[in-house]
Amino acid sequence: MSDEGLTGIAAATADRDPLVALAAMARLRAELERAEAVLVRRARNEGATWPQIAAALGVSKQAVHKKHSGRGLLGGRS
């Protein structure tokens, strides 16, 4: 997604209508999850370890491994 698209979704989270803002929040959360998965996959493919990725995300290595393992380049466990 483009920066403009993300900016538009983020701006919609401030809508006066809470239902519109909540829907925008759900779209933003989904896009951020997708972007995180792509970046974790890239980091692993470039040789980053689970502890390095966990540190970058500010979570435990167990948490990042549980969330993202099995999403390697070929879909296998890494």
Give the other-Cβ count within 10 Å of 29's Cβ.
11
Q: What is the pLDDT of residues 31-47, one digit of tens each?
A: 999 999 999 999 999 99
Give the pLDDT of residue 54: 97
Confidence of residue 73 (pLDDT cuts 50, 70, 90): low
pLDDT given for residue 76 in this prediction: 47
* Sign, Cα dihedral of 29, 34, 39, 45: positive
